[in-house]
A and B are shown apart, each in its own frame.
Chain A
Amino acid sequence: MKTTALRGTAVTARVGLALGVAVAVCFVTGLISHFIQHPQPWFFWPTRPVWLYRVTQGLHVISGIAAIPLITVKLWSVWPKLFERPIIGGLVRQIERLSILVLVGSMLFQLSTGLLNIAQWYAFKFFFTTSHYAMAYVAAGAVLVHIGVKLPIIRRALGEPVDDTPVLVGPTRRSVLRGTWLAVALATVVTAGQTIPLLRKVSVLAPRSGLGPQGVPINRSAIAAGVLRSARSPDYRLTVTNGSTTRAFSFADLQAMPQATHRLPIACVEGWSVDAEWTGVVLADLVAAVGASRESDVRMISLEPPGPYSRTVVPARHARDAKTLIALKLNGQTLDLDHGYPCRLIAPTRPGVLQTKWLSRIEVVAR
């Protein structure tokens, strides 16, 4: 079968369907991750199951990577249309070409910046978070417009059999599809191990192996955060305030308080995650010690000098949760400096970037 006959709506529509699913999963899980970090009054995020964010963000990166072979085949199947007559044409044709340019450009932007980001290779000189978020709407919008325009063709193509002429020797459209799904499975297996423990050993191209000090990888190191001196200072105190009520705890004070141990994952926005056992003081107990209500949000302030993530706000639902800890120990050992010594926040269903390390102040937010 000549390659030109392999291309056609039968392949394009089916690969497009899979790509559409991947884009939808990316978009929804991406929005979830965004709104956890930029809370809105209408956005609700539960505290159970504790691994919820681990799954949503894991899916985000997995479907983004799956989209790479899918978009490659999709583009292969329609590339000759770039040269279809009329090359210039009238206004409608120009609009159509422009819409496809936006679609392809925004999709390639999202997939390339996403892939580079999880490997921490900032080859681009714009902020990843804001541009990836903005372009997500452009890409999602372009995909919806594309589906709207092509809907009759899609319906017809999906209703027809894949191979309409019998092929004796050589590739068939079915073999193109099978090759596509195989490539998607391969791409997933070599990368998803950074969040799926079962695949950890075989994900040879994953940016992280899941190893690290005390069994957990890190993102921001103590040196990079500039906390080496302040974290190890003997004058260290964790100050908890509620309006004018203030209490200060030394490391020994925190150790003397009733401790709880919980198994919670740390799940990064970059799509990796690891389960671990955390021991520490329940945040709700510290907050109660300064007489705050259980309906208050709580602000976490780090020893790290002011920056985008040195202050975070924990919503009330998470702040009062019994599993939200101010952790002093990780997997049975005193918290490593890179993991946030003297103490860090660890809460269920929150992204790693919001699990503030090297805590210096906890402030109950006035209602």
Chain B
Amino acid sequence: MITRIALIVLGLILGVYGAVLVWENPPVIIMRILVWALVGVVLHDAVFAPVCVALGFAARRLIPGKWWAPIAVAAFCSVVLAFLAIPVYGKPGMRPDNLTVLDRNYPLGLSISLAIVWLCLLIYFLVARLLPVRQDEMVEQESAGDVEPQPPAV
């Protein structure tokens, strides 16, 4: 209980200090900061999350159950790569006086990394098929048709 109270109190102190620091800016700047944070929340809650839910819903209907997890992981990795690519893809921050920043071929890099993710997925599937079936899986993959209705005759 003491730990909880200490955490909450310390958190409130830090948070209020941060708010004070934000407040030291001119009102226009404070507004911009708050708007930026709120836009982030709205973009997630009202755009990104519902889109993911819709995609997941659709995918679950189209993709067989046992492939769902690896494909979902590959899809998530792709989303993370795409997200990290946003600030570099079109080199929006590049200035002509400095060629040492944003000095990679980002479209190529993104394509290569996405290709590697999905290639790894393919390899995962191939390996999963080629590996010997484990004892647990052997049992789990049995269905009602594998069980005989009558015990064998003596």
Contact = CB atoms under 8 A, between A and B. Distances in A.
A105 B40 contact: yes
B126 interface: no
Interface residues of A, number: 83
Interface string B66-97: 10110011001101110111111000111101
Contact of B87 (A121, A143, A151, A211): A121
Contacts, number: 224
B77 A104 contact: no
Given A108-B37, A112-B40, A125-B32, A119 B102 contact: yes
A91 B131 CA distance: 57
A133 interface: yes
A141 to B, nearest CB: 3
B10 A104 contact: no
Interface stretch (A212-220, A243-251, A306-314): A212-220
A207 B87 contact: yes
Interface in A157-198: 168-172, 175, 178-180, 182-183, 186-187, 190-191
Contact of B66 (A133, A146, A170): A170
B68 A171 contact: yes
B52 interface: yes
A137 interface: yes
A122 interface: yes
Contact of A224 (B45, B65, B93, B97): B97
Contact of B69 (A108, A152, A175, A223): A175
A209 interface: yes
B119 interface: no
B36 interface: yes
Contact of B13 (A113, A125, A141, A142): A141
B81 A190 contact: yes
A120 B49 contact: no
A115 interface: yes
Interface stretch (A72-80, A234-242, A297-305): A72-80
